[in-house]
């Protein structure tokens, strides 16, 4: 009995000397407590509400909700609501932040980044940065690991007419975009820093002709797809509508839907606004007339006296240098539009 009392006295003396027997204080309901001094307990910034934990908010909407309302510091650096740091060694896989979505229903996301800011400074939902200089490194990576189905590694969309679904910038003028296939990462598509496209599989657009973008005389709105065009004899590097038969100035046809359009101007040059696509090779709809007789499949076509329309050529002596192409469809009478194989000769 004496030993028990002695032990109690010794323990009490120890607790008093260490301050552990003098802890007290009060707090707010649902707030996780913290030591505000060495002997006092008070409120922490953490809230427990409805099974959720919140930091910087009184109404957490997820298992962990963190809200930071601080502004940028004097050096211009903004705060981070969460800063996760991990150190990896050797070839181990590690992640500072990892989000797994195990749901099998539609709409599950591993990581969601949302930016609600509406100001001139802009901003982003998710930012990936890497400062590595060796090995294969990336800022943001998306993997679709399913071996079947319509998996997409990286998906981008915009709902603005001025928006861009995918933007790629190489500040040092290296490759802008590279496409690889297979287990050996064989490159089959590449866009270099000048905008030049390299493609092992060729280029197959929806369109059956090659066109050159050229300026026209007068208002561009006067011209329509299918018009037969000639070189303007009055102005340099200009086209105009054909208007006399067997003109050796024939240049081509205003393309309806060109597969390729070449131009002497850069993509943002204002001069492009007065240019039209001139089909010089390929298959293209063309306005025609039967003023020189019905047009049969295979007929050689030349300019006519009807503005912007072709007719079949019958005067062989006048056809040298005046043929725009061969008819792929017939026209028995009047005027119309037929498919023409452009073969200037």
Report whether pLDDT(154) > 50: yes
Cα distance between residue 18 and residue 284, in whole Å: 95
Which neighbouring-strand residues pair with 209?
Answer: 282
Which pLDDT score is estimated for 2?
Answer: 42
pLDDT confidence tier of residue 91, bands split at 50, 70 and 90: low
pLDDT confidence tier of residue 106, bands split at 50, 70 and 90: low
113-145 pLDDT per residue, tens: 777 777 766 777 788 888 888 887 878 888 888
Q: What percent of the chain has pLDDT over 90?
A: 39
Which pLDDT score is estimated for 127?
Answer: 80
Cα distance between residue 227 and residue 10, in whole Å: 108
Three-class secondary structure of residue 239 per DSSP: strand
Report whether pLDDT(300) > 70: yes
The pTM (predicted TM-score) of the whole model is 0.68
* Radius of gyration of the chain, Cα coordinates, nearest whole angstrom: 37
Which CATH architecture group holds 209-343?
Answer: Beta Barrel (2.40)
Tokens 């975009």 belong to which residue?
A: 177
Q: Are 290 and 332 in contact (CB under 8 A)?
A: yes
Which pLDDT score is estimated for 92?
Answer: 66
Which pLDDT score is estimated for 226?
Answer: 97
Half-sphere exposure for 54 (CA within 13 Å, toward CB): 16
Task: Check residues 115 and 151 and name the one with the higher pLDDT.
Answer: 151
Sequence spans of domains, the chain? 27-64, 170-204, 209-343
219-268 pLDDT per residue, tens: 999 999 999 999 999 888 899 999 999 999 999 999 999 989 988 888 88
DSSP per residue over 3-36, as a string? HHHHHHHHHHHHHHHHTGGG-EE---TTEEEEES
Mean pLDDT for the chain overall:
85
Give the residue-averaged pLDDT of 56-78. 78
11-37 pLDDT per residue, tens: 445 554 554 556 777 788 888 888 888
């Amino acid at each position: 009995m004496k030993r028990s009392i002695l032990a109690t006295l010794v323990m009490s003396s120890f607790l008093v000397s260490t301050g552990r027997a003098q802890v007290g204080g009060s707090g707010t309901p649902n707030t996780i407590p913290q030591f505000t001094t060495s002997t006092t307990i008070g409120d922490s910034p953490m809230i427990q509400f409805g099974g959720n934990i919140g930091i910087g908010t009184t109404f957490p909407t997820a298992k962990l909700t963190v809200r930071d309302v601080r502004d940028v510091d004097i050096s211009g650096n903004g705060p981070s609501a969460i800063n996760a740091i991990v150190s990896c060694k050797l070839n181990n896989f590690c992640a500072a932040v990892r989000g797994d979505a195990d749901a099998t229903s539609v709409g599950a996301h591993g990581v969601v980044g949302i930016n609600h800011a509406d100001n001139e400074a802009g901003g982003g939902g998710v930012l990936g940065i890497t400062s590595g200089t060796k090995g294969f490194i990336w800022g943001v990576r998306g993997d679709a690991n399913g071996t079947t189905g319509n998996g997409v590694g990286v998906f981008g969309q915009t709902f603005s007419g001025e928006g861009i679904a995918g933007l790629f910038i190489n500040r040092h003028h290296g490759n802008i975009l590279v496409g690889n296939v297979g287990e050996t990462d064989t490159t089959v598509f590449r866009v270099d820093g000048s905008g030049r496209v390299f493609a092992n599989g060729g280029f197959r657009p929806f369109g059956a002709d090659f066109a050159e973008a050229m300026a026209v005389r007068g208002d561009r709105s006067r011209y329509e797809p299918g018009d037969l065009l000639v070189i303007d004899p009055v102005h340099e590097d200009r086209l105009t509508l054909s208007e006399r038969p067997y003109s050796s100035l024939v240049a081509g046809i205003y393309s309806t839907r060109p597969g390729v359009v070449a131009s002497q101007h850069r993509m943002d040059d204002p001069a492009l606004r007065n240019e039209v696509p001139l089909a010089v090779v390929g298959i293209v709809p063309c306005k025609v007339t039967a003023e020189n007789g019905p047009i049969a499949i295979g007929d050689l076509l030349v300019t006519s006296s009807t503005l912007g329309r072709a007719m079949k050529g019958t005067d062989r002596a006048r056809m040298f240098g005046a043929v725009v192409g061969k008819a792929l469809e017939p026209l028995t009478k009047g005027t119309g539009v037929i498919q023409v194989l452009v073969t200037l000769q």
